Amino acid sequence: MSVIHLEMWDLGMAASLVLLLALLSFALRLQLERQILISATRTTVQLLLIGLVLKSLFASSNLLWLGLMAFVMLAVAGREVMRRQKRTFSGWWGYGLGTLSMFVSSFATTIFALLVVINTDPWYLPQYSIPLLGMMLGNTMNGVALALDRLTTSAWAQRAVIETRLTLGQDWREAIRDISRDSLRTGMLPIINAMAAAGIVSLPGMMTGQILSGTPPLEAVKYQILIMFMIAAGTGFATVIATWLGARRLFDARQRLSLYRLSNTGVE
């Protein structure tokens, strides 16, 4: 099956729909037209740049440059996790907690898939490692951000309940257990819903892209199943790590609730 190549004119026609959406936002006074246009511009520039970078990486397969790109992706994902929270941990904890969780989970599951499941040669082959890691980081980023946001906002709102439980003799794990469980559910629910709806309600992006590029449908389906399972595991592990570390950070060495460790950027 031959691949139909897109010209710049084709992309321009698709961009006209985004411009139409911005005009609609202006007409309805939604005040979203600026964000729409900026986001569309960023998407175009960022994807074109990453296309050039990937072209060079695919040609050289240099592990050093590959590792550098992977850590840049991780650093940006960690920043996005911190920005998506109403109340974040102060200091380096605000950035490091989510980043560490994603590093442990996303890198571990990606390396597992490359070494054990796909078995590429070399194991870090950029055509496989970068797309896999990108999908892992993108989804774990959402899960960790949702879980931490739920954890910190709920702890702030229910601080009287937590302190009462501590006064009654419960340790920090018991005092915040309900909030931690709700946070874990919040972080894991999107990927659970995505797995439940895949193939019936929606066709996942990777599978759609492979089919459009000429990959046999059944082969694309097998890769998509692999990706969904890896994303589910990676998101789940990262959410558990982030929630546990975040919950522990909310208490001091004497098991007292220490909300001063949260920034004051949220709403009372």
pLDDT in tens, 171-186: 899 999 999 999 999 9
End-to-end Cα separation, the chain, in angstroms: 58
Q: Of 150-154, 191-195, 263-267, where does mean pLDDT reach its minimum?
A: 263-267
Query: Looking at residue 2, what is its pLDDT?
Result: 59
pLDDT at 55 over 90: no
Both tokens of residue 64? 């050093």
Give me the mean pLDDT over the 249-260 stretch.
85
Domain range annotation of the chain: 1-60, 63-261
| Contact yes or no for 135/210 (Cβ under 8 A) | no
Q: What is the mean pLDDT of the chain?
A: 88
Q: Is the confidence at residue 213, as pLDDT, over 80?
A: no
- pLDDT tens, position by position, 16-35: 999 999 999 999 988 999 99
Q: How far is CA 171 from the centre of its chain?
A: 32
Residue 136 near residue 234 (C-beta atoms within 8 A):
yes
Amino acid at 254: R
Residue pair 223/198 in contact (Cβ under 8 Å)? The answer is no
| Sheet strands (E) in 159-234 | none
Q: Specify the pTM.
A: 0.82
> What is the per-residue pLDDT for 240?
94
For residues 146-151, average pLDDT: 94
Averaged pLDDT, 44-65: 87
